[in-house]
Amino acid sequence: MKKRRNPALTILFSVISVVYIAPILIVLMNSFKRKAYINRYPFALPNADTFVGLENYTSGIEKIDFWRAFGYSVFITTVSVAVILLCTSMCAWYITRVPGPFSRIFYTLCLFAMVVPFQMVMFPLSKVTDLLRLNTPIGIVPVYLGFGAGLAVFLFCGFMRSIPIEVEEAAMIDGCSPTQTFFFAVLPMLRPTLISVGILETMWIWNDYLLPLLVLNQKKYKTLPIAIQYLKGGYGSIDWGAMMAMLVLAIVPIIVFYLALQKHIIKGVAAGAVKG
Amino acid sequence: MEKAIKKTFALFALPTLAAFVIGFFVPFILGIYLSFCRFTTISDAQFTGLANYRALAGDGVFLHSLWFTAAFTAVTVVLINVLAFAAALLLTRSFRGTNVFRAVFFLPNLIGGIVLGYIWQLIFNGILSIFGRTLTYSSVYGFWGLVVLMCWQQIGYMMIIYIAGLQSIPDALYEAARIDGANGRQLLFRVTVPMSMPAITICTFLTLTNSFKLFDQNLALTAGQPSQMTELLALNIYNTFYGRAGWEGVGQAKAVVFFLLVALLAMIQTRLTRSREVQQ
């Protein structure tokens, strides 16, 4: 087939793209305006009267203790995702290589867990985690492992059924223990699925609001989405200046993450979905 | 080999299993039991039979949120899938900048629901203030606000899945159809759409469950205002639990109904679209 270039489509999509990105740009622009002008005239450019520099940023950072919340979010996301990747890939290997009633039942439960809405378990879960003292940034990690297990086990199992078992048999015959076989022969082959699962779980945990709100001790630990929601006062009033600045600070890491890993993210999403 | 691996159960399978039991399985079973109880914490639960279910059947706000959620889900599933499929069709043609455009459409998906809700609250209130209104003036504004937000967030994600589907259709099929004299319309509905059924199955499943289970965006955009008229099911359940003392049992019963609805919808939907998939 011959390649044709169609400039009309390029122009059309350029316009759509600008409109698509506009809400984010409008938030960025408003983050530099005095708060009284934001909600009333969100589309007006800042001028000499309304421009306040970084005032919204400094007041917002102070108001919600931004760096603390950011730190907790980074900690919980990275540790949880690392634990999920390690534990569920090992578990999926066990399930696919040791067939039997345990493997069958656990695999079915994992599929089942993916459909259950969070509201179904949120109240008992918050009581169970309080009882077990899992209400800290470290304690929430096993909770995320339990919740993320469904999707992760499912995706890993799907991939493991497609890789040749001969590699593992050869490793074992050469004297590897099962643990060595997994870490030296299986894990390197899992790379694409590790990336895919890692990205899906990162997106979920970084943005998660309700689970950490109910599990973590709210007097001490707030993640970023919780801190932002906290800007809405008791009577529904919002400090729009601080809000704009905090929204920008919440979006920036996401954009950096996206630009750095864009190819993997788009591939990972497509691969994760095709198997779903 | 199987025997050797079996001995590693404690190291390989147990951590995930234990976390799954604590984080999901026990709360799930407790949740079903508690839906038949009156309680404020788990230890003071008293069995009351179907009382909670009778109470929810008479809860007008809950029934309203059920219809509101159903309408919202129906509108967003159709809009998102049609627009995402159209975008995928256009962006698999050859013209300058397709990769950039794909990246742009995907971006909102990475932003969390709470942040998205406040971004759009600003935009909608800015537009509506021209007419002297706000987003919480009427539930109609809230409804379409949620629809626009959801489309903005989800189109890019579904588009990526559709693009992967479209790229797996062999060119030979199109050539054969052209030789048989098919026009553009026939190519689309007789080749492209049937060959994309697996992607359509996945995308309708994802949009259906995402819309039905939506919570964060709803909380940040309207918080159910005006007077709980824009509450989707998930938010209604949350407010029953944490907003009305003594109603925890009813909240849990609502959650069970909610779960059964999601499971039922997911089952019907996959049956329907799977049956239309063609073997290659």
First-residue to last-residue Cα distance in chain A:
33
When divided into structural domains, chain B yields a total of 1
Q: Quick check: helix, strand or coil at residue A226? A: helix
> Cα dist. B43→A122, B38, B241 in Å?
16, 11, 16
pLDDT of residue A3: 53
Determine how many CB atoms are found less than 10 A away from the CB of residue B86: 13
* Token pair in block for residue B100: 């950039």
Decide if B161 and A273 are in contact by the 8 Å CB cutoff.
Answer: yes
As for the ipTM of the complex, it is 0.86
* Token pair in block for residue A215: 């599990």
> Residues of A with CB below 8 A from B259's CB?
116-117, 119-120
The answer to whether residue B146 sits within a structural domain is yes
Identify which of A211, A274, A128, A252 has the alpha carbon closest to the alpha carbon of residue B238. Answer: A211
Tens of pLDDT, residues B28-58: 998 898 888 887 777 777 788 787 888 788 8
Alpha helices in chain B (DSSP H): 2-6, 9-12, 14-20, 26-34, 51-57, 60-91, 98-106, 113-128, 139-167, 171-179, 184-186, 193-195, 197-212, 216-221, 233-243, 248-274
> Residues of B with CB below 8 A from A177's CB?
4
Minimum Cα–Cα distance from A1: chain B residue: B171
Strand locations in A181-230, DSSP E?
none
CA atoms within 13 A on the CB side of A30: 30
Show the domains of chain A with their CATH numbers.
60-275 (1.10.3720.10)
The answer to whether residue B183 sits within a structural domain is yes
Mutate to test the interface with A, among B3, B17, B24, B269 (most CBs of A within 10 A): B24
The answer to whether residue B81 sits within a structural domain is yes
The answer to whether residue B74 sits within a structural domain is yes
Mutate to test the interface with B, among A97, A123, A205, A213 (most CBs of B within 10 A): A123
Least confident residue range of A79-88, A258-267, B111-120:
A258-267
The answer to whether residue B18 sits within a structural domain is no
What is the percentage of chain A residues whose pLDDT exceeds 70? 95
* Parent domain of B220: 60-274
CATH code for the domain in which residue B140 is found: 1.10.3720.10
Q: pTM of the predicted model, to two decimals?
A: 0.87
Tens of pLDDT, residues A171-192: 888 888 888 888 988 888 888 8
Contact criterion met (CB below 8 Å) for B197 and B276: yes
